[in-house]
Every structure is written in C-alpha cells, then in structure tokens.
Amino acid sequence: MGPRIRKLGVPVATLGLKRGVPFLTAVWRLRQIIHEVKPSIIQGWMYHGNLAAWLGGRFASNTPAIFWNVRQSLYDLRDEKPLTRQVIRVNRLLSSRTDAIIYNSRLSKKQHEAFGFAHAHGIVIPNGIDLERFRFSVDARSRIRADLNIPQDALLVGHVARYHLMKNHAGFLEAAVRVAERIPKTQFVLAGKDVTRENRNLSGVIPRHLTQRFHLLGERKDIPELMSAMDIFCLSSEAEAFPNVLLEAMACGVPCVTTDVGDAAYIIGDIGLVVPPRNIAALADGMERLLSMPEAERRNLGTIARERIVQNFSLGKMVEKYEKVLSFRF
C-alpha cells in the first residue's frame, strides 16, 4: 500500500517490522518517527497496531490524541493465535487510556466490551465502499459469463472469500450441491485466495457429475465485474465482524443470502435472507428461495439493495464520520 499512498502525495514511514528484525529495533524506529513527525493524532489499526499507537503516544512530547480501531469480531479468544491472544489482553488493559476506540461493527463493540474493553470509549463507524467502482454493468455481466462459458440465461450464485475455515466454503458447497440438484439451470462461481480446484478440501465436495457447473477461480482483481455476472450472492461464514463483501454485492445490485454473523443482518436489513450459521439445509433453502423468484422481482430486490448501500454505507459517509470523530478532540 505504501507506493499507492505516496502517489497521493502523502509521506509514508515504515518500521520495517518483519520476521528476523529485532522487535526493539522497530520500537526504536517508532520512537524516531514520533519525534520527527510530532503527530496530533495517532490512529491504531487492529490489535497490534493499537498497541503500537499507544506506545507511540508514550514517546510523544506533544500529547497527541490516541485512537484505536478494531476490525474484527471476538467470538472466542481461543480462535486467535497465542501471541495475538496476549496482545488482545494488553489492549484490554490499555483501552481506557485512549481517546476513542472505533469499531467497524456493533457486534464487535458488544463483544469487546463484554471482554473488558473500555465501554465509555467505544464508537461504531460502519465500513463504506466506493459506489462508483461497485455498480452493476451489463457489459461485465455478458463478458464474464462468456469468459467462464456460463450460459447467459443460467442462474449464477456467487461466493467471494479467501479460503479459511471460518468462511465455511465446504458448508457453502454442500448447500450449493443441494441447490444444483434441485435447480438444473443453476451454476456457482467462487473467488478468493486458495479457492481453486487444486484445493481438495473444496473440489472434493463437488460430485463429478456437477463439476462443470462449479467455477473455482482463485484470487481475482475484478470483483465488481464478477459480481455483475451473479444473480444472487451467498455469504456462508461462521464468524464475521462487518462483512464488506455484502456491501459490494448489494452495491452491484445482487440480492444476498447470508448467515447471521457479525453485522450481516444489519447490513442487508429486510432486503435478502438471513439464515443461522452452520446450517446447510437453511443455507440451501435460502438460495433456492431467491433463485425461485421471478427474474423481474429478483432484479427489483437488487435495485433496492443498492439503494440501501447508497443511503447507509457509502465511502463518503464513512469518511464524514471519521472526520467528525477525529476532529472532536480538537
């Protein structure tokens, strides 16, 4: 990200913290940066960044405002790596010494405060997305389907997520196989890091006679175009905080069925379907309900879905809320 930020004319300094670099070297570098920049605000980002932000504040001579940002849910501390668990515990101890803790989801705020994070400092700012980039494109829909050899009249279900157990790709595929058996016109497209046919944990779930109707694409850079090709989108995760992918799909006019994780239900409101996590039958039924809608009704639902994102989750609205919070101290 550094080169992209520098192209905007914004200076970037890094700690060079990576495997093999002594931790104290990075701490010394942080101290140097703080003394050189003399920041008015130090913004942490995620647990390790929050800890660095607090430490940076201790190095400063001008008493900068310290803001933290928490970008994930906290269902169970045991789900985290051992070192991260300790960092989260330290975050808990230091949380009252910040000017504000910004969460990207209401559930995340509730979970962290139940764990012991300072209640009085918590603020929720939902994520926002670029509505110019994420929008429906007729040309992209036709091109993507042609590239993947998917008939233009097929019913296409989409799933976008890196491969991780919490994303529950296997559960999605099991539900999708049920839908494929019931609705012959249905095809499925999955994109995300390590989501390929070489991943036997995924391809092994798909029966041989249905293989041609499942497209495992791996990591893609053209997600808005890919979403334009979809008729419905499915999120199958077992845990989330604020799943951006729902915003992206809805902004592209794609109705969604999602598991009830994080702020997913809040994001889609009554525009789409919410099902319990880890319930394959409910997930399959949800997909089938949206696919069984008349095409005009389903497209109208997608139009309403985009309007909800425009009204509530635009990038501009998120920026305004950050400006308000960060400027409050001054």
Residue 9, domain member (yes or no): no
Q: How confident is the model at residue 177 (pLDDT cuts 50, 70, 90)?
A: very high
**183 lies in a domain?**
yes
Is residue 87 one of the residues assigned to a domain?
A: yes
Do residues 99 and 175 both lie within one domain? no
Say if residue 303 is in the same domain as residue 323: no
pLDDT of residue 182: 96
- The enclosing domain of 235 has a CATH number of 3.40.50.2000
Q: What is the 3-state secondary structure (H, E, C) of 104-141?
A: CCHHHHHHHHHHCCCHHHEEECCCCECCCCCCCCHHHH
Residues 100 and 42 in one domain: yes
Which band of pLDDT confidence, cut at 50, 70 and 90, is reported for residue 313?
A: very high
Instruction: For residue 308, give the amino acid letter.
Output: R
Average pLDDT over residues 158-170: 96
Percent above pLDDT 90 for the chain: 90
Number of domains forming the structure of the chain: 2
**Is 222 found in the same domain as 101?**
no
Q: Is the pTM of this model over 0.85?
A: yes
Q: Please, what is the average pLDDT of the chain?
A: 95
Mean pLDDT of 110-121: 94
For a pLDDT cut of 70, what percent of the chain falls above it?
Answer: 99
pLDDT at position 329, please? Answer: 65
Distance CA 269, CA 169 (A): 24
Beta carbons of 259 and 282 less than 8 angstroms apart: no
pLDDT value at residue 3:
94
Provide the domain limits for residue 42: 38-128+316-328
Q: Is the pLDDT of residue 274 over 90?
A: yes
Tell me: do 216 and 279 sit in the same domain: yes
pLDDT confidence bin for 23, thresholds 50/70/90: confident
Q: Is residue 155 part of a domain?
A: yes
Q: What is the pLDDT of residues 37-65, one digit of tens each?
A: 999 999 999 999 999 999 999 999 989 99
Q: Cα 188 to the chain's mean position, in Å? A: 21
> 81 and 43, same structural domain?
yes
**pLDDT for res 330:** 61
**Which of 212, 243, 208, 215 is closest to 229 using CA atoms?**
215
As a whole number of angstroms, the distance between CA 47 and CA 84 comes to: 8
265 found inside a domain: yes
Indicate whether 13 belongs to any domain. no
Confirm whether 6 is domain-assigned.
no
Claim to verify: residue 149 and residue 119 sit in the same structural domain = no
Residues 273, 295 within the same domain? yes
Same domain, 144 and 248: yes
Say whether both 208 and 297 belong to one domain.
Answer: yes
Cα Rg, the chain, nearest whole Å = 22
Q: Is the pLDDT of residue 15 over 70?
A: yes
For residue 293, the model assigns a pLDDT of: 96
Q: How far is CA 252 from CA 59, 135, 191, 224, 245, in A?
A: 45, 4, 16, 7, 11
CA distance 192 to 158: 11
Q: How far apart are CA 312 and CA 126, in angstroms?
A: 9
Q: What residues does 158 pair with on adjacent strands?
A: 189, 233
Same domain (yes/no): 98, 192: no
- At residue 80, the pLDDT reads 87
* Claim to verify: residue 323 and residue 302 sit in the same structural domain: no
- Residues ≥6 apart with Cβ < 8 Å to 184: none
- Read off the pLDDT band of 19 (50, 70, 90): confident
Which residues touch 75 (CB under 8 Å, ≥6 apart)? 111, 239
* Average pLDDT over every residue of 129-154: 97
Report if residue 133 sits inside a domain: no
Average pLDDT, integer, range 1-11: 95
CA torsion through residues 269, 144, 133, 220, sign? positive
